[in-house]
Amino acid sequence: MSVATAPRARLARRGGWPEALTSTDHKQIGLNLGACSLFFFLLGGVFALILRTQLAQSNMQVLSDNSYNEIFTMHGSTMIYLFVTPMAVAMATYLVPLQIGAVRLSAPRLSLAGFWTWLAGGLVMESSWLTADGAGRTGWSSYVPMSNSTNTPGVGQDLWVIGVILVALGLTAMSICVTVTVARRRAPGMALLRMPVFTWTALLSVLMIVAAFPMLILAMTLLFIDRTGAGHIYTGFAGAIDYQDLFWFFGHPVVYVMFFPYLGGAAEAVAVNAHKRWFGYTAFVVSIMMFSALSMAVWSHHMYTTGGVTNQYFAFTSTLLLVPAGIEYFDMIGTLIGGAIVLRASMLFALTFFLQFLVGGLSGVFVASPVLDYHAYGTYIVVAHFHYTLFAGSIFGFFAAAYHWFPKLTGALLREGLGKLQLAVMVIGTNLTFFPMFFLGNDGMPRRVSRYPTHPEWGTLNLLETIGAGIIALGVLIFLINVIVSLRRRIVAGDDPWLGHTLEWATTSPPPPLNFEAPLPPVRSYAPLLDLREQQLDRERRLEGAPA
């Protein structure tokens, strides 16, 4: 191991920062995007803590109304445009070529340009804080006519719109590169139906980005034209509905973009830590394809209360999502049963991902019903629902992936003890923060308010949520400490610390510039390394004369 890592360490040091930031190696691009996303995660988390401080009691007056609106807008925008989505793309960019046995990414310069465009978009969006009128302040969805120049004048809101356009352009470019890589650079034997589970989830994510993000670019460009005063595009009732249709045609697929790679990461962690290949592979692939197809046909379930869409159609497609979702859970359980389970931090995060996401998924079936959504829409029921999918779900999936692949990225293991402590802290914090929101919403608390009536239970529940948010912050802090400690005092991981199933574990940690130095093992299924181990085991058993 140490022999293998020495020449690479020299290579990485050769160019230093300038080389790292201009590298066309997909691993470096993925790391850059992931690191920047993680920075934005911390920033968005700080915004969340400020929001929760304001909401700790009914009228805290920590923030002015205007500041509150800026911060909730930038919390959502930072988390969605600058963390959960780009982190999904970062994981895809880093891992997909490795998992399919490719030596490099297709069109790597386009991917690099995409990264820089996305980063520019992020910086433009956050730079709106520096303007005299303040940051974007009409929510991450920025409905018209609220977001036009009459109702929300100012350069800050313009910068927010431009930022979103650049972010969408950048991520679309990067997604094209991953898609083409899957199409053209699979190793011999790597048929589409032998691609690892994570690669499938990542592929469908980038396909959804390519299909849906142009709609966001269009919606925001038209909004910008309106804001300059040059256009009268979003006018009247039709204009308001058109914007929402365009926005949610992006905005719903992105929900699955922010889910799939984390699902794939958690699925890999479950399979590897159960020492058993993922159950029901074909059904799983079909189900996530059905998921992706439906995700392009459910967008107006965000618009049940507008009176401008056919609610039954969108209720039909949205409720149908429970079929592929149910298959995923079946496959996860099928993988556990009969396995040889090791409860590492990655496994615990993955199982928690599935269980907590389930709360978000089941409440999703609830809000898919128009009659139930007439009450739930725009309230803390919805805030609870999507934080259970995005935070209690995807972010836990991200940590499962982080504990699973950190050794591959760095060559060092993360500390298991700190990982389990982080999990315990975050499970408590997450449920304390988000579960009371269901009750508040059902009881009548709207979202996006900086003050609320002084019902005694509301104050108590909100205070619990604020405490929970602080506990989550502690959990994230433990993760950062774990990363720093693990990089400073390295426990060498080796090529394959977990008995991995897929090709990235057949190369060194971290992988060399062209990914694989040794010849690839034969690919005869979606778990080629497990195949090798099973063959080896069978040979040993035959030699011992035991029945195979």
Partner 1 sequence: MLSPPPGALSSLISTRHEYDHLFGIYVPIAIGVFLTILLVVVGAVVIFHRRPPERAARWHENNPVEGTYALVLACVAAFLLYLTFSAEHKVDTVANQQHPSVVVFVTAAKWEWTFRYPGYGFSVRSGTVGRQPLVVPAGEPVRFMLTSDDVIHALWIPAVRYKHDAIPGSTQIVTLSFSTGVFDGHCAEFCGLRHSDMVFTVHAVRPASFAAWARSKGTAAVP
Sequence-distant (≥ 6) Cβ neighbours of residue 200 within 8 angstroms: 264, 284, 285, 288
Closest CA to 81 of 197, 209, 179: 209
Cα separation, 329 vs 541, in Å, equals 34
- Told to check if 340 binds partner 1 by CB under 8 A, we report yes
Choose the stretch contacting partner 1; rule: CB under 8 A; options: 16-24, 93-101, 224-232, 274-282. 274-282
- Told to check if 305 binds partner 1 by CB under 8 A, we report yes
Q: Minimum distance between the CB of residue 277 and partner 1, rounded to whole angstroms? A: 5
Choose the stretch contacting partner 1; rule: CB under 8 A; options: 20-28, 91-99, 331-339, 398-406. 331-339
Q: Minimum distance between the CB of residue 472 and partner 1, rounded to whole angstroms? A: 22
Sequence-distant (≥ 6) Cβ neighbours of residue 120 within 8 angstroms: 166, 170
Nearer to partner 1, 238 or 477 (CB): 238
- Told to check if 313 binds partner 1 by CB under 8 A, we report no
Question: 432-461: which residues touch partner 1 (CB under 8 A)?
Answer: 443-444, 446-453
Cα separation, 168 vs 81, in Å, equals 8
Q: Minimum distance between the CB of residue 148 and partner 1, rounded to whole angstroms? A: 9
- Told to check if 497 binds partner 1 by CB under 8 A, we report no
Q: Minimum distance between the CB of residue 258 and partner 1, rounded to whole angstroms? A: 21
How many CA atoms are closer than 13 Å to the CA of 216, on its beta-carbon side? 29
Cα separation, 302 vs 129, in Å, equals 29
**Residue of 362, 477, 492, 518 interacting with partner 1 (CB under 8 A):** 362
Nearer to partner 1, 93 or 138 (CB): 138
Nearer to partner 1, 118 or 399 (CB): 399
- Rounded to whole angstroms, what are the CA distances from 22 to 17, 111, 509, 515? 9, 11, 22, 18
Contact 122, 165 (CB under 8 A): no
**Residue of 183, 313, 537, 542 interacting with partner 1 (CB under 8 A):** 537
Per-residue b or e along 244-277, where b marks 16 or more CB atoms closer than 10 Å to that residue's CB:
bbbbbbbbbbbbbbbbbbbbbbbbbbbbbbbebb
**Residue of 214, 339, 470, 497 interacting with partner 1 (CB under 8 A):** 339
Question: 70-99: which residues touch partner 1 (CB under 8 A)?
Answer: none
- Told to check if 293 binds partner 1 by CB under 8 A, we report no
**Residue of 111, 179, 201, 311 interacting with partner 1 (CB under 8 A):** 311
Where are the strands (E) in 107-263, listed by range? none
Question: N- to C-terminal Cα distance for the chain?
Answer: 33
Closest CA to 357 of 329, 383, 392: 392
- Told to check if 191 binds partner 1 by CB under 8 A, we report no
Q: Minimum distance between the CB of residue 479 and partner 1, rounded to whole angstroms? A: 23
Q: Minimum distance between the CB of residue 207 and partner 1, rounded to whole angstroms? A: 23
Question: 139-158: which residues touch partner 1 (CB under 8 A)?
Answer: 139, 143, 145-146, 151-152
**Residue of 334, 470, 494, 512 interacting with partner 1 (CB under 8 A):** 334
Q: Omega before 510 cis (within 30°)?
A: yes
**Residue of 11, 130, 232, 374 interacting with partner 1 (CB under 8 A):** 374
**Residue of 343, 492, 514, 518 interacting with partner 1 (CB under 8 A):** 343
Contact 77, 160 (CB under 8 A): yes
**Residue of 275, 424, 459, 471 interacting with partner 1 (CB under 8 A):** 275
- Told to check if 127 binds partner 1 by CB under 8 A, we report no
218 φ, ψ (degrees, to nearest 5): -65, -50
- Rounded to whole angstroms, what are the CA distances from 174 to 177, 198, 210? 5, 17, 9
Contact 298, 252 (CB under 8 A): yes
Q: Minimum distance between the CB of residue 50 and partner 1, rounded to whole angstroms? A: 16
- Told to check if 302 binds partner 1 by CB under 8 A, we report no
Q: Minimum distance between the CB of residue 544 and partner 1, rounded to whole angstroms? A: 12
Helices 281-295, 260-273: axis angle to 10 degrees equals 170
Question: 193-222: which residues touch partner 1 (CB under 8 A)?
Answer: none
Choose the stretch contacting partner 1; rule: CB under 8 A; options: 258-266, 341-349, 395-403, 481-489. 341-349
Per-residue b or e along 200-219, where b marks 16 or more CB atoms closer than 10 Å to that residue's CB:
bbbbbbbbbbbbbbebbbbb
How many CA atoms are closer than 13 Å to the CA of 339, on its beta-carbon side? 22
- Told to check if 22 binds partner 1 by CB under 8 A, we report no
The letter for the amino acid at 241 is: I
Question: 388-427: which residues touch partner 1 (CB under 8 A)?
Answer: none
Nearer to partner 1, 104 or 447 (CB): 447
Per-residue b or e along 407-434, where b marks 16 or more CB atoms closer than 10 Å to that residue's CB:
bbbbbbbbbbebbbbbbebbbbbbbbbb
Question: 26-65: which residues touch partner 1 (CB under 8 A)?
Answer: 65
Cα separation, 302 vs 292, in Å, equals 17
**Residue of 289, 296, 297, 341 interacting with partner 1 (CB under 8 A):** 341
- Rounded to whole angstroms, what are the CA distances from 83 to 38, 91, 218, 258, 388? 7, 12, 22, 9, 16
Q: Minimum distance between the CB of residue 306 and partner 1, rounded to whole angstroms? A: 5
Choose the stretch contacting partner 1; rule: CB under 8 A; options: 161-169, 259-267, 361-369, 477-485. 361-369
